């Protein structure tokens, strides 16, 4: 069902922006919700992306596997 043009504007709902803890409009007029602005959304996504990259970067370490096995057998 499409929006009724006769309908008055709905009550403005706001949430707390996860980035700046400010007030952010939670509605179709704010495509960045729950963030208050594109800037806040980009900052949050950037932090998430860099963290993800860091985790992936430190993952490849298979050198210690052999050492760990030998140490356990010796004791």
Assign 3-state DSSP to the chain and report helix, strand, coil percentages, each to 5. Answer: 40, 10, 50
| Nearer to Zn ion among residue 38 and residue 69 (C-beta) | 38
According to the binding rule CB under 5 A, does residue 19 interact with Zn ion?
A: yes
| Nearer to Zn ion among residue 22 and residue 46 (C-beta) | 22
Among 14, 15, 20, 26, binds Zn ion (CB under 5 A): 20
- The DSSP symbol for 12 reads P
| Nearer to Zn ion among residue 20 and residue 25 (C-beta) | 20
- How far apart CA 57 and CA 60 sit, in angstroms, is 7
Residues engaged in binding Zn ion (CB under 5 A): 17, 19-20, 22, 36, 40
């Amino acid at each position: 069902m499409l929006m009724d043009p006769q309908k008055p504007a709905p009550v403005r709902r706001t949430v707390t922006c996860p980035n700046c803890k400010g007030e952010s409009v939670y509605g179709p007029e704010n495509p960045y919700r729950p963030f208050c602005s594109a800037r806040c959304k980009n900052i949050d996504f950037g932090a998430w992306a860099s963290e993800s990259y860091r985790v992936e970067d430190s993952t490849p370490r298979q050198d210690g596997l052999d050492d760990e096995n030998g140490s356990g057998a010796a004791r």
